[in-house]
Chain A
Amino acid sequence: MPEYKPQYYPGNTLPSKNRKKYLDPTYKLQKLRTISDDDLIRIMGHRVPGEAYKSTHPPLEETGEPACPIREIVTPTPGAKAGDRIRYIQFTDSVYFAPVTPYVRAWMYHTRYRGVDVGVLSGRVPLEARERDLEKVAKELVETEIFDSARCGIRGATVHGHALRLDENGLMFDAQRRYMFNKKTGEVDYVKDQIGVPLDKPISVGKPIPETELRKRTSEFRVDGNAFRDDKELVSFIERIHRLRTIAGFDPEKVKGV
């Protein structure tokens, strides 16, 4: 038998191939912009830059741990070791050719990062982790190709907008107007943090990726882009999963060699 090689995702069209790429932890996400650590902390809004991390319990070394064979071997993350609070960063991705979709985020968060709690809704993807671990991960999520300043939003509440038409500058709607298009610089500036508290000064998250470029990077199927129905491999893959689940529910013995 040939040696097992991880394959991550089926499908034969551009969005499928992009999904596979983003899920593959050996693929290095392309850096497109730089946001300073402090600016990212300001946007996330959980602490003031320089402030010590608040904890939810004392450091593990102080309290000791119950006798448990799993604790003996599984290394806690730095945030867990220190007893950090669990905090969040949350993204909304537009339906208009955003680089990643909510489920793609969840899948890639779990293939790339350790000790993360991700949830998925159509309009938001919360990522919760121990605070210092979260800050490390958040950097990659905002600085790389999976984030577009116009079609992705960092928003903690009032997330309405992923399915709305775009504004005159091509930005996704945000009921709290956390970000604005800076006509002078051509960049998108955050003027509020992710929960909507005004920032002391605007923070740029860079220029929007042109749509021609977005269409190459996107993991979204669209009938005006790459239609799902044209990825016959992926469609029949899902049909297969459904069929096997259905038959197995009736009698698992009936699923053999298929």
Chain B
Amino acid sequence: MKKYKDVVDLHDDHGRLVASGIPIAALSPLLNPAIQKIVSFVKQCVAVNLQGVQTSLATGEVGGKWSMLRGRSTKVDLVGNAEAVAKDLKETLQVKPKDDTEVKVLKDGKYLLVTVPAARLNAGVEYTTSATAVAAGLCHVIIDKFNVDMWDSDLVHAAVWGRYPQTMDMLGGNVVSLLSVPQQNEGMGYALRNVLAAHIAMITRKNSMNAAALSSILEQTAHWEMGDAMGNFERFHLLGLAYQGLNADNVVYDIVKENAKTGNLGDCVRSTVKRAIDDGVIKPLEKTKSGYTIYTTNDLNKWNAYAAAGLMAGTMITCGAARAMQHTPSVFIYFNDLLERETGLPGVDFGRVAGTGVEMAFFSHSIYGGGNPAVFNGNHIVTRHSKGFCIPCVAAAVALDAGTTIYTPEKLSGVVGEVLSEVPELREPLKYVNEAAVKIKGEV
């Protein structure tokens, strides 16, 4: 990796200074241990709806909605025996005693949070290992522990795995990973982008700054995975992650605070421009006949990072004021339109955020598909077009919504969001990433 001169001040989610002068490489997914742990947890952690398994077995309703197998039923008290099930499952999954396998019982036995040992994932190349290992392990535990005989073993499979393998994914199953099956990814490197904004909002318990951080980490890491954050583009993504997702130099929080009571999106544009001028990121180039000043920059990547931070702040002000998520695409388009017409410089991601906003506005306000902002993600054909700069804002906006939609984040996320919010690094990523960056600052 190249050596970058940039250093930033790290701030927490409330805008308080954590550390100064941290090299941006300390925030890179390639080097920051907390980001690597977060990414690993995304692979390792799986949610199990034990109540769901029990109900499916008892009713014969397996393999998706309205799939009801008359005459098929077996009663096992999984919820009542959740601790025992958890213990057996842990033993089944463990590679070595006292390794990083964990099975936590939640909600009085209704859910399990399973952390599959990293050794299992490292023994192969797939990231679906956690889901398949847990599904397989749970089948073993149910059949062995509850003496389910051969004639009902197929029902156990369906209650756990859903309609797989007739479907490519676990349709109607009760083992859920944050990641989708590879066949559902749009292209190479898209796995980490295929996470609903709803999940992000629920995992971070609707803390908007942490929602932005977690989403930005996943989105931007994906851009390393797909090869986009390479060469001259690496710094583009590093600065974007730092400023937009991780509140570097407190730019996001400062602009929000400045406009918190009465400000609107246009005010956020002007705050962004002023901040960029004050920090020496942009400067006047020339004046036109009408007296308009065209601005220039010697560091377009840094300008992009500031603009992206301003975009995040603009989202928080607009959607925060309305306590509604639906405004997000409007912010994407018009923040950039106004910013470009204010400065003569390209907007965030050089037009790609504006374009993504146009598409998302269409698909969140019409008959053609899509839905409310919570259903979108970086893998969605509507919102994949910006390389990591839109979805973090969507996640932040979804977190700020007070309940204006019918398909709420709760409904969309279901078990996954609730269970994975028990993982501290996923719930409060900003804190852990900042701490890790401080730890390694001398080594990068």
Direct interface between A and B, CB < 8 A: yes
- 8 Å CB contacts to B: which residues of A10-30? 10-12, 16-17, 23, 25
Chain A contacts for B321, CB-based, 8 A: 74-77, 80, 114-115
CA distance A111 to B259 in the complex (A): 13
Q: Does B326 contact A (CB under 8 A)?
A: yes
Number of interface residues of B (CB under 8 A): 74
Besides A70-B209, A80-B323, A115-B324, 5 other CB < 8 A contacts?
A4-B273, A4-B274, A63-B402, A128-B326, A256-B299
Q: Could you give, for residues 246-277 of chain B, a 1 whenever the CB lies within 8 Å of some chain A CB and a 0 otherwise?
A: 00000001001100111111100010011001
Contact B264 A112 (CB under 8 A): yes
CA distance A244 to B345 in the complex (A): 8
Given contacts A66-B205, A66-B207, A69-B15, contact A77 B402 (CB under 8 A): no
Chain B contacts for A77, CB-based, 8 A: 321-322
Contact B289 A70 (CB under 8 A): no
Q: Does B403 contact A (CB under 8 A)?
A: yes
CA distance A106 to B265 in the complex (A): 11
CA distance A251 to B350 in the complex (A): 11
Q: Could you give, for residues 380-422 of chain B, a 1 whenever the CB lies within 8 Å of some chain A CB and a 0 otherwise?
A: 0000000000000000100110111000000000000000000
Q: Does B161 contact A (CB under 8 A)?
A: no
Contact A10 B326 (CB under 8 A): no
CA distance A25 to B288 in the complex (A): 23
Contact B342 A241 (CB under 8 A): no
State which of A32-40, A116-124, A218-226 sits at the interface with chain B. A116-124
Instruction: Give the shortest distance, in Å, between B98 (CB) and chain A (any CB).
Output: 35
Chain A contacts for B333, CB-based, 8 A: 106, 120
Cβ-neighbour of B400 out of A12, A70, A256 (below 8 A): A70
* Chain A residues proximal to chain B, CB less than 8 Å: 1-2, 4, 6-12, 16-17, 23, 25, 56-57, 60, 63, 65-77, 79-80, 83, 86, 103, 106-107, 110-120, 126, 128-130, 133, 233, 237, 240-241, 244-245, 248-249, 251-253, 255-258
Chain A contacts for B300, CB-based, 8 A: 248, 252-253, 255-256
Chain A contacts for B264, CB-based, 8 A: 110-116
Q: Does B379 contact A (CB under 8 A)?
A: no
CA distance A5 to B368 in the complex (A): 42
Instruction: Give the shortest distance, in Å, between A240 (CB) and chain B (any CB).
Output: 6
* Chain B residue nearest to A110 in the complex (CB): B265
Chain B contacts for A11, CB-based, 8 A: 290, 292
Contact A10 B320 (CB under 8 A): no
Instruction: Give the shortest distance, in Å, between A256 (CB) and chain B (any CB).
Output: 5
Chain A contacts for B121, CB-based, 8 A: none
Contact B327 A107 (CB under 8 A): no
Q: Does B32 contact A (CB under 8 A)?
A: no
* Chain A residue nearest to B270 in the complex (CB): A6
CA distance A177 to B232 in the complex (A): 57
Cβ-neighbour of B288 out of A4, A6, A126, A233 (below 8 A): A233
Given contacts A244-B345, A257-B296, contact A1 B326 (CB under 8 A): no
Contact A110 B403 (CB under 8 A): no
Q: Could you give, for residues 122-141 of chain B, a 1 whenever the CB lies within 8 Å of some chain A CB and a 0 otherwise?
A: 00000000000000000000
Given contacts A56-B404, A80-B402, A233-B292, contact A111 B15 (CB under 8 A): no
